[in-house]
Chains A and B, each alone.
Chain A
Amino acid sequence: AQSVTQLDSQVPVFEEAPVELRCNYSSSVSVYLFWYVQYPNQGLQLLLKYLSGSTLVKGINGFEAEFNKSQTSFHLRKPSVHISDTAEYFCAVSDAGLTFGEGTQLTVNP
């Protein structure tokens, strides 16, 4: 069975600071990895995905993630965050359905 671990449940940062949200996965087969964002009272929105090819994946809103097979990680980064990035972020690995981590609450403070 595949699993996802998000290492930080909450990440507070100041506006314009860089941020990294950590995600580790376990899988015995080829993986397809995703980051979704969930704003308060809204559905999940796809930020970016890794299916194959380049290990550095760029997504929407200035986010990017790097697939590291040897470390089984798929960390999400943004060089400079905005107040509007405050949300819950979920890492997921694809199986029949998606297996999600427990989420990381990113709070951007002024």
Chain B
Amino acid sequence: DTGVSQDPRHKITKRGQNVTFRCDPISEHNRLYWYRQTLGQGPEFLTYFQNEAQLEKSRLLSDRFSAERPKGSFSTLEIQRTEQGDSAMYLCASSHGTSSAGGTQYFGPGTRLTVL
């Protein structure tokens, strides 16, 4: 078990560009979550998947954000037409569960996005 991995660890982009992040969960974890964390704040929930189905999206997830988990394993988070306000740490977590609690979430190291 190698834990949750995220790629890239850092991304610097110019305003208006598109970026895509990847998350590989702990193997056999059926749930995968995306969060955003800005400096000095706690992580904020963005969306989660159970297997390949995206079950919930936060109102924080604007139309410029899209997430996929096509085969129920890794996931991608794409941000289109990036804005400076998108600069943050994007965290991925995974868990094993079917109840509403969803099991204990294990976090990856995050992808730090800087939009210039």
Interface positions of A (Cβ within 8 A of B): 4, 32, 34, 36, 42-46, 49, 51, 90, 92, 94-103
Contact = CB atoms under 8 A, between A and B. Distances in A.
B65 interface: no
B107 A96 contact: no
Given A45-B107, A49-B104, A102-B42, 12 more contacts: A32-B101, A43-B107, A43-B110, A94-B102, A96-B100, A96-B102, A97-B46, A97-B47, A97-B48, A98-B45, A98-B105, A103-B41
Size category of the B interface is 20 to 34
A16 B62 CA distance: 46
A45 B43 CA distance: 13
Interface of B: 4, 33, 35, 40-48, 55-56, 58, 91, 93, 100-102, 104-110
A32 B105 CA distance: 12
Contacts of A99: 45
Contacts of A90: 42-43
A58 B18 CA distance: 44
Given A32-B101, A43-B107, A44-B91, A96 B42 contact: no
A98 B100 CA distance: 11
Contact of B109 (A42, A95, A97): A42
B109 A43 contact: yes
A100 B91 contact: no
A46 B42 contact: no
A99 B46 CA distance: 11
A90 B107 CA distance: 13
Given A43-B91, A103-B41, A103-B42, A94 B107 contact: no
Given A43-B91, A102-B41, A97 B33 contact: yes
Contacts of A42: 109
A36 B106 CA distance: 10
A58 B78 CA distance: 38
